[in-house]
Amino acid sequence: MNILQSHTALNREEWAKLRNKTPLLLSKNELENVKGTNDIISLQEVEEIYLPLSRLINLKVEASRQWKGVTCSFLDKKPKKVPFVIGVAGSVAVGKSTTARVLRTLLSRWESHKKVDLVTTDGFLYSTDTLEKKGLMSRKGFPESYDTQKLIDFMVRVKSGVDKVEAPVYSHLTYDIVPDKAEIIRNPDILIVEGINVLQVKNSNPLFVSDFFDFSIYLDAEESDIKQWYIERFFLLQKTAFEDKQSYFHRYKDFSQKEAMEKATEIWADINAKNLKENILPTMRRADLILRKNHDHEIEKVYLKKF
């Protein structure tokens, strides 16, 4: 990756020192429960990478509250609780879900913001039926496969301090929106929004999802590594989730290793690699913080935006 002129680069050792005695309030069992399928993360990784990050976000939450207080004082209005919103972006299979869940757990251990919620933008994909009618099933995950206006409306309500906001629910098993089911967001202290599309912009929209973020994170890695992680995950799911008859990918459960490799490689090349190059990777420079992974899933470098 080229050096980002707008970001300060810190190696792992430099970043780890910024923990500044932040306690590790996460057990090994808890870490196992929050990590994603075939993702690799250790308690050492949490200590050296995620504890400094949780400290930085804590400081930003406090500063945000102070700034809101100043603004309300100037306007002679009573302060209203509004969630601090964090966006987590990056490619399919890069480890966004694990990062989001680890952060959620760590941030909820701080006294000043115990209520931390997490939503994924998968819930704002169009239903399979709609995608098929639009001829977009082969473009699932691309910007046009999302109900962007619905996602924007959700963010508006969250940032307006609405007490109860509903988010649609997505099933990775059925590969579709779950009908008549919603996740209720009740004005948390912090809301983490995770998805491949959260930093993308469209010229046709007056508002972008990222307009509502107080802080944004991008997970980065070599494309060859992400591809390998995707294929490894495909093999793992073939022996687990794909066995379920309700799984959208049930038809792949009896594929030979060669057939599974060919299918996973085909899906990566035709959909995920294209989406990464065209729509996801170009948004990296917009992130406030970039976490750069090596081939072993370890974060080797951190890039923090200067301005």
**Does a structural domain hold residue 142?**
yes
Please check the confidence at residue 1 and state whether its pLDDT lies above 70: no
**161 annotated ligand binder:** no
pLDDT, position 15: 97
Distance between CA atoms of residues 207 and 209, nearest Å: 7
- Is 82 annotated to bind a ligand? Reply is no
Count of the separate structural domains present in the chain: 1
- 79-91 pLDDT, tens digit per residue, is 899 999 999 999 9
Q: Is residue 1 part of a domain?
A: no
pLDDT digits (tens, 9 = 90+) for 16-43: 999 999 999 999 999 999 988 788 999 9
47 within domain boundaries: yes
The pLDDT assigned to 39 comes to 87
119 annotated as a binding-site residue: no
- The reported pTM is 0.95
Euclidean distance between CA atoms 31 and 201, whole angstroms:
33
140 assigned binding-site residue: no
Residue 289: which CATH number? 3.40.50.300
State the pLDDT at residue 292: 97
Binding residue per annotation — 301? no
Query: Which pLDDT belongs to residue 203?
Result: 63
Evaluate if residue 48 carries a pLDDT over 80: yes
Res. 205 pLDDT band, cuts 50 70 90: confident
Q: Is residue 210 part of an annotated ligand binding site?
A: no
84 phi and psi angles, rounded to 5 deg: -85, 125
> What's the pLDDT at 37?
78
Domain coverage including residue 178? 7-305
Is 96 part of any known ligand binding site?
A: yes
CA distances from 2 to 5, 7, 303 (A): 9, 11, 11
Is residue 24 situated within a structural domain? yes
- Looking at the domain assignment, is residue 105 inside a domain? yes
As a whole number, mean pLDDT of residues 54-72 equals: 96
For the chain, give the percent of residues with pLDDT over 90: 92
Asked whether residue 94 is marked as a ligand-binding residue, the answer is yes
Does 2 reside within a domain?
A: no
